[in-house]
């Protein structure tokens, strides 16, 4: 152990240097935003804080998508992976260090530690498959219509689709006459690191087969974000089992995904991350979401919260979303690697070059009605990337719906529940 200390110290110095390089990019973005706001005469009616925030948005968007930042970020992550490996080889308890880091990050997220339970729509667990559960929703007084399987992303938990009774996507769909099921991926542990995209699509197949046992010949599917990737793959391989396919904020053509996280995903070595850690850490993802724009995601939203503390409905939704947002489970290493390499780096799913268990995944095999749902200001999956699916499938009936707001707003905004989800329910029922 002691013989390794000089090498560890050298690698730690390298990692610290790369961290300083990252900090410099952020620091200059803050400074440029302040200087532009200070001399900006186009927003004379706005206060200095609002002008600075607006300017910082554009500064971060340009800086964090640049090749220079991608290179620095890649160097930093590589140096941290090397450092962890050296600690591990020297006999240090790296697993304990990882848990301590996760606890530290989680405790930083103040609202995530507020006690309370989600007021979930009643459901029955009708199938378990490893950590995965198939939930079947019960909404009093509603007749059961066409079966629908909702596939959530393996990031965070499914609660965002059932955040509170008045803003519950699954309740809205069930109330619209759909016999609604949802795949809950659970909370993967170290024993699940080997799970791959093939395994997750297999869980989808098992869920559809179970639902079909109720008498339905086909099942409609609604896929959200990365859950939509699994919905697309399953539908391309099993089009004869799908009635209708709705895709909500799904990064389909990743060459058109211009979000910050998409740029970072293409820059980082997912193979090294999966090999060293076994998974993508949930708290590391939490930090990544914040670092897209720290003023917005670590400061301004709490300013807005305190401005609206008199609004009980706003406070309840805000705290529920915060508890959901920072309850991010790890993503199994092989699944993370399959999606980053296959979708973001090679764009193989959209190009028809992806294979799963020896079978070619060709989106043109999908000939059922397809609906693409996009948020106009989505900073996790660009609208153009989502809407591109309509040009890849061979369906005769292709529709799209666009809503103002962002990725999460599709699930929790009042306007989405008033204008979007009744339309989606009608489209899926037709």
- Tell me the pLDDT tens digit for each residue of 114-130: 655 678 899 999 999 99
CA 64, 69, 72, 77 torsion-angle sign: positive
Determine contact, residues 300/308, Cβ cutoff 8 Å. Answer: no
Give the mean pLDDT of 309-317. 85
Catalytic-residue membership of 407:
yes
Q: What is the dihedral of CA 82, 87, 91, 94, to 10 degrees?
A: -100
Query: What's the pLDDT at 143?
Result: 62
Integer Cα distance of 284 and 405 in angstroms = 25
- 411 is known as an active-site residue: no
Give pLDDT, residue 92: 84
Taking the C-alpha atoms of residue 7 and residue 47, their distance in angstroms, rounded to an integer, is 51
Catalytic member of 253, 407, 411, 417:
407
Out of 246-255, 257-266, 297-306, which region has the weakest mean confidence (pLDDT)? 297-306
Rounded CA separation 37/14 (Å): 35
Helix (H, G, I), strand (E, B) or coil at 355: strand
Query: Are the C-beta atoms of 251 and 231 separated by less than 8 Å?
Result: no
The single residue of 225, 253, 379, 411 carrying the catalytic annotation is 225
Say what the pLDDT of residue 215 is: 86
pLDDT, the chain, mean = 91
Query: Which two tokens mark 206?
Result: 């098992």
Does the pLDDT value for residue 1 go beyond 60? no
pLDDT the model gives residue 113: 58
At a CB cut-off of 8 Å and minimum separation 6, what does 256 contact? 382, 384, 385, 388
As a whole number of angstroms, the distance between CA 411 and CA 428 comes to 17
Rounded alpha-carbon distances, angstroms, from residue 91 to 67, 84, 85, 111, 178: 36, 11, 10, 36, 55
Note the pLDDT tens digit of each residue in 351-396.
999 999 899 999 999 999 999 999 999 999 999 999 999 999 999 9
The reported pLDDT for the residue numbered 141 is 62
pLDDT, one tens digit per residue, over 149-192 is 999 999 888 989 998 888 999 999 998 889 999 999 999 988 99
What does the pLDDT read at residue 337?
96
- What confidence score (pLDDT) does residue 42 get? 67
Give the fold, CATH level 3, of 93-430: Rossmann fold (3.40.50)
Chain centroid to CA 14: how far? 31
Q: What is the DSSP letter of 345?
A: I
Q: What is the DSSP letter of 113?
A: G
pLDDT band at 99 (very low <50, low <70, confident <90, very high): confident
Quote the CA–CA distance of 381 and 332 in Å, as a whole number.
Answer: 21
In whole angstroms, what is the distance from residue 84 CA to residue 97 CA? 10
pLDDT of residue 415: 93
CA 155 to chain centre: 5
Residue 65 has pLDDT above 90, yes or no: yes
Judge whether 47 counts as a catalytic residue.
Answer: no
pLDDT of residue 325: 82
- The set of residues, in sequence order, having a beta carbon less than 8 Å from that of 24 and lying 6+ positions away, is none
Query: What size, in residues, is the chain?
Result: 430
Which pLDDT value is given to residue 226? 97
pLDDT tens sequence across 193-248: 999 999 999 999 999 999 999 888 999 999 999 999 999 999 999 999 999 999 99
Given a contact cutoff of 8 angstroms between Cβ atoms, the answer to whether 232 and 349 are in contact is: yes
Q: Is the pLDDT of residue 419 over 90?
A: yes
Q: Point out the catalytic residue in the list 378, 379, 411, 417.
A: 378
Write down the pLDDT at residue 45: 61
User: Residue 2 above 60 pLDDT?
Assistant: no
Kindly state the average pLDDT of the residues 33-55. 79
Give residue limits of the domains in the chain: 1-91, 93-430
Angle among Cα 322, 328, 334 to the nearest 5 degrees reads: 160
- pLDDT at residue number 73: 96
Instruction: Tell me what pLDDT residue 97 has.
Output: 80
Among 74-83, 275-284, 305-314, 358-367, whose mean pLDDT is lowest? 305-314
Range with the lowest mean pLDDT among 37-51, 74-88, 312-326? 37-51
- Dihedral over Cα of 342, 343, 347, 351: its sign: positive
pLDDT at 138 over 60: yes
pLDDT at 322: 83
Find out whether 139 and 121 touch, Cβ atoms under 8 Å.
yes
The secondary structure of residue 246, as a DSSP letter, is: E
């Amino acid at each position: 152990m002691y013989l390794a200390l000089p090498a560890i110290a050298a690698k730690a110095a390298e990692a610290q240097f790369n961290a300083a390089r990252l900090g410099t990019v952020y620091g200059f973005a803050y400074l440029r935003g302040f200087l532009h706001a200070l001399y900006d005469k186009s927003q004379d009616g706005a206060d200095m804080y609002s002008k600075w925030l607006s300017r910082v948005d554009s500064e971060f968007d340009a800086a964090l998508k640049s090749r220079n930042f991608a290179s620095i970020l890649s160097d930093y992550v590589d140096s941290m992976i090397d450092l962890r490996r050296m600690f591990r080889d020297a006999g240090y308890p790296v697993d304990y260090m990882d848990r301590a880091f996760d606890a530290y990050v989680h405790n930083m997220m103040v609202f995530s530690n507020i006690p309370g339970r989600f007021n979930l729509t009643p459901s029955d667990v009708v199938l378990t498959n490893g950590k995965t559960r198939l939930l079947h929703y019960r909404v009093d007084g509603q007749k059961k219509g066409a079966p629908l399987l909702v596939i959530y992303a393996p990031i965070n938990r499914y609660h965002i689709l059932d955040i509170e009774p008045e803003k519950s996507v699954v309740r809205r769909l069930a109330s619209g006459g759909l016999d609604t099921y949802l795949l809950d991926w659970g909370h993967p542990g170290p024993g699940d690191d080997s799970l791959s995209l093939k395994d997750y699509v297999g869980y989808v197949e098992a869920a559809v087969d179970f639902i079909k046992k109720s008498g339905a010949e086909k099942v409609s599917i609604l896929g959200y974000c990365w859950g939509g990737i699994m919905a697309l793959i399953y539908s391309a391989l099993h089009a004869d089992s799908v009635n209708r396919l709705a895709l909500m904020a799904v990064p389909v053509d990743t060459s058109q995904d211009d979000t910050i996280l998409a740029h970072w995903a293409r820059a980082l070595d997912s193979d090294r991350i999966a090999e060293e850690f076994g998974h993508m850490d949930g708290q590391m993802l939490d930090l990544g979401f914040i670092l897209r724009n720290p003023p917005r995601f670590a400061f301004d939203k709490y300013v807005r919260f305190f401005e609206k503390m008199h609004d009980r409905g706003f406070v309840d939704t805000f705290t529920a979303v915060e508890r959901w947002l920072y309850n991010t489970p790890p993503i199994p290493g092989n699944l993370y690697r399959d999606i980053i390499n296959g979708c973001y780096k090679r764009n193989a799913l959209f190009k028809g070059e992806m294979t799963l268990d020896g079978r070619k995944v060709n989106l043109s095999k999908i000939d059922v009605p397809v609906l693409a749902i996009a948020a106009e200001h989505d900073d996790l999956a660009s609208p153009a990337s989502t809407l591109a699916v309509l040009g890849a499938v061979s369906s005769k009936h292709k529709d799209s719906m666009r809503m103002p707001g962002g990725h999460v707003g599709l699930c929790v905004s009042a306007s989405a529940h008033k204008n979007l989800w009744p339309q989606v329910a009608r489209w899926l029922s037709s």
